[in-house]
Amino acid sequence: MKIVQRTGPLSLLYAFMDAARWRPAADGATPRRERSIRIYVLETGGCEGCFMEIESLNGSAFALEQAGFVWVSDPADADWLLLTGAVTRVCAEMIDRAWRAMPPGKSLIAVGACAVDGGPFPASYATLGGLQALTPVRRSIPGCPPSPDDILRALQELAQL
Amino acid sequence: MIGMGRIIRSGERVALSHYHLDSEQWNAMLAAPGAALPLMSCWADDGRAYVLLLEGDRPLLASTAVEERRYLALSSRFAGAEWGERVAYDLYGVEAMDARGNGAPALDEGGWTSTWPLSSRPGPAAGGLRPLAGSHLLRPEQTGLSGPLEFSFDVLKGKIRNVDVCAGGAHRGVVSRLLGRTPEEAMPLVSRMTAGGFVAHPLAFARAVAQARGLVPGPGIRDVWMALLEIERMSLHLFDMARTARGVDAELLATHCDHAREAIARACAEQGASRRLMDMVSCDGFREGLEIVPLVQAVHEVMQPRLAALEELHRVFAPRLDGFAVLDARLAERFAVGGVTGRASGRSMDMRRREAGMRLEALRATGSSRGDARAREGLRLAEIRDSLKLLERILGSIGLEDDEPAPDRTDEGIGVAEGARGDVWYWVRLKNGLIENFHVRDPGVALLPALGAMLRGYPVSRVPAALGSIGISPAGIAL
Ligand code: SF4
């Protein structure tokens, strides 16, 4: 894409227009759900790579909301808990706290190799080695880290189940 | 009057920059007249206590024997040494005598399978989690950071007076996972130390390993490493800028940063590299098949045209960051805070300047040294401009020879890389080709002792925005 450099008093307006021009469209059909799925994300002791890719997905370069998802900052408002990181023993309590705060009908999704089975950080004195140590992992998104596109695609697939 | 550097060099030299000190020399170092050399890191294990200092722009490592699990505390002389002492106690149970600070755990919040897990004589598990002291807590999921870091505060009349940090939630025990492996076996894990340094961490490690092996990477490898580091710098600066911008509701600026960062990631992926340049650096070079020239060209092409809009938007929104989360210049010096955060507070250290083959003329970024979030944001932008220039220069003379001599092989090496968030240091000791001992210092560690002063006077609700503006990775701090 060609980007024209502009400065001067109109530049702010151009910046608005550019931001709008780049705004991504959700791939495929807009989901026919009554309301968006609300996701809450917890990092539990990985390298932060997966978490930062989800942060990117929630930023302006991706159409998370158009795809039918919204990131919430309180687990009490969340439908899905997305978990990244190798689940350190210290973080187990945090996961429990978030999970209990979520309303009924909730789901748990492991994002990235760490969250599934520890990935590069298997169980040790400090880590549990992923969610599998706490519960059977039924929903997961592989990768180290998965890209925002991978994550979004997987979320959409999971939403259809 | 003998200065600290000379006292250290009076010890037994065991590697290029490492001196063994007996207890008398260690005491003399701690009591050396004049200003202390800047502390980069300190650590200890069952056998020895170490301190990594900077003399000019060169590392100087001193160590002494730990006897009966004790050594004389470095914090009695070096500001900023407390964190390393607390970590050493949590992992090995070795105690720093006459240490400053309240001795609160740095990593062991309870919940581990043993106490002093890396010690040759670990203790039994402590049981459940220990609550942190302090009247107010910021739970790990509330900090706005990308990883779990727990804060406790003393608050008076709604304003922060004191801060304590515990990084146990992010501690994965990487040291224990790497001991006994070859550097090549260790590299995949080193490449996942922190997403705040997918290039910087493995690069500092590769440099340490090369020094231990008595090797100097050729100019072709050196330039590829430099180029990868600059691409990562731009990408992470954009990440930190977006986060800072969102902290003051400058959504339009954040939007442009997001798009630019994603454009870089896509350019990397399209050129056959990974999006965030994971696994590109290897111990003796870079991933096979990596074509650096088209990669640099592609990244340059997507980033250069976006700069003008970013600069304009920064100009518009920067006043919102005025005077926010100030790191005082004296504290930046005192704790040897590096990276953008240190430079925006007037500490001019940039380890790229000492690298062989560096195109120094490209490194021009200067800016305000007021130490506030505005100065940091402005400097990140200026450094992105420099990175683009540096990439142009590298392309213009890639692989240009220079005559850096190879060090003697001592099986021990120190490596540094000036990452986006500051100077990343690795120390490695090999035995029969395997990692016998090892230390990592992420730049975030230098920020910890300065946080109290930075956050003093703010309500706890402003902490996430302040932390966002300094670029800090819990994974890098806790390891
Ligand atoms: S799965 Fe990989 S990228 Fe994700 S947190 Fe773990 S180590 Fe990092």
DSSP A2-57: ------STTHHHHHHHHHHHHPPPPSSSPP--SSPEEEEEEE-SS-SHHHHHHHHH
**Inter-chain contact B173–A15, Cβ cutoff 8 Å?**
no
Q: Which residue among A6, A60, A91 places its CB closest to the CB of B254?
A: A60
Which pLDDT score is estimated for A135? 85
Burial class (CB in 10 A: 0-12, 13-18, 19+), B224: buried
Task: Report whether B51 contacts B40 (CB < 8 A).
Answer: no
Indicate the top mutation candidate among A114, A121, A141, A147 to test ligand 1's pocket, ranked by most ligand atoms within 8 A of CB.
A114
Reply yes or no on whether the pLDDT at A29 is more than 80: no
Whose structure tokens read 């997507």? B302
Backbone Cα Rg of chain A: 18
The boundaries of every CATH 1.10.645.10 domain in chain B are 192-446
- Least confident range of A37-51, A114-128, B129-143, B254-268: B129-143
Which of B97, B68, B78 has its CA nearest to residue B8?
Answer: B78
Which pLDDT score is estimated for A35? 87
**CATH 1.10.4100 for the B4-130 domain, yes or no:** no
> How many angstroms separate the CA atoms of A143 and A150, rounded?
9
User: Which residue's C-alpha comes closest to atom 2 of ligand 1?
Assistant: A144
Instruction: Read off the pLDDT of each residue in A139-154 and give the average, rounded to a whole number.
Output: 96
Reply yes or no on whether the pLDDT at A1 is more than 50: no
State whether the Cα torsion A107-A111-A114-A116 is positive or negative: positive
The boundaries of every CATH 3.30.460 domain in chain B are 4-130
Cis bond before residue A120 (omega within 30° of 0): no
Indicate the top mutation candidate among A84, A121, A132 to test ligand 1's pocket, ranked by most ligand atoms within 8 A of CB.
A84
> How many angstroms separate the CA atoms of B234 and B267, rounded?
13
Reply yes or no on whether the pLDDT at A26 is more than 60: no
Q: Which residue among B170, B307, B309 places its CB closest to the CB of A88?
A: B170
Q: Who's near B113: CB < 8 A, 6+ residues apart?
A: A89, A125, B125
> How many angstroms separate the CA atoms of B305 and A22, rounded?
14
Which pLDDT score is estimated for B137? 81
Task: Report whether B186 contacts B208 (CB < 8 A).
Answer: no
Q: A117 to chain B, minimum CA–CA distance in Å?
A: 14
* Strand boundaries in B82-189, DSSP class E: 95-97, 136-138, 150-156, 159-166
Q: Report the amino acid identity of residue B87.
A: V
Tell me the CB-side half-sphere exposure of residue B11, using CA atoms within 13 A: 27
Tell me the CB-side half-sphere exposure of residue B23, using CA atoms within 13 A: 8
Question: Pairing relation of β-strands B281-282 and B285-286?
Answer: antiparallel
Instruction: Choose the CATH number for A34-160 among 3.40.50.300, 3.40.50.720, 3.30.465.10, 3.40.50.12280.
Output: 3.40.50.12280
pLDDT tens digits, residue range A55-96?
999 998 898 999 999 999 999 999 999 999 999 999 998 999
C-alpha distances in Å from residue B278, one per residue of A28, B383, B384: 30, 22, 20
Which pLDDT score is estimated for B16? 93
Helix, strand or coil, per DSSP, at residue B322: coil
B316 to chain A: nearest residue by CA?
A12
Question: Pairing relation of β-strands B150-156 and B159-166?
Answer: antiparallel
- Domain range summary for chain A, segments of one domain joined by +: 34-160
Which pLDDT score is estimated for B136? 79
Which pLDDT score is estimated for B231? 98
CA dihedral B3, B4, B9, B12 (to 10 degrees): 130
pLDDT tens digits, residue range B184-201?
999 999 999 999 999 999
Average pLDDT of every residue of chain B? 93
Q: Who's near B441: CB < 8 A, 6+ residues apart?
A: B40, B41, B52, B424, B425, B426
**Inter-chain contact A91–B140, Cβ cutoff 8 Å?**
yes
Q: Which residue among A42, A120, A127 places its CB closest to the CB of B188?
A: A120
ipTM for the predicted complex: 0.93
The DSSP code for B101 is S
Q: Chain A contact for B305, CB < 8 A?
A: yes
Which pLDDT score is estimated for A100? 94
State whether the Cα torsion A77-A50-B417-B476 is positive or negative: positive
pLDDT beneath 50: ranges in chain B: none
Domain B192-446: assigned CATH number: 1.10.645.10
> What pTM was estimated for this model as a whole?
0.94
Task: Report whether A50 contacts A154 (CB < 8 A).
Answer: no
Which pLDDT score is estimated for B406? 83
The per-residue DSSP string of A119-138 comes to TTS-S-SSB--SGGGTS---
User: Which residue's C-alpha comes closest to atom 8 of ligand 1?
Assistant: A47
C-alpha distances in Å from residue B323, one per residue of B191, B358, B372, B378, B417: 36, 34, 5, 13, 30
Task: Report whether B253 contacts A60 (CB < 8 A).
Answer: no
- Report the Cα B205 to chain-centroid distance in Å: 12
Which residues are A42's β-sheet partners? A83
Q: B353 to chain A, minimum CA–CA distance in Å?
A: 28
Q: A127 to chain B, minimum CA–CA distance in Å?
A: 6
> How many angstroms separate the CA atoms of A49 and B191, rounded?
11
Per the model's pLDDT, the better-predicted residue between A35 and B411 turns out to be B411
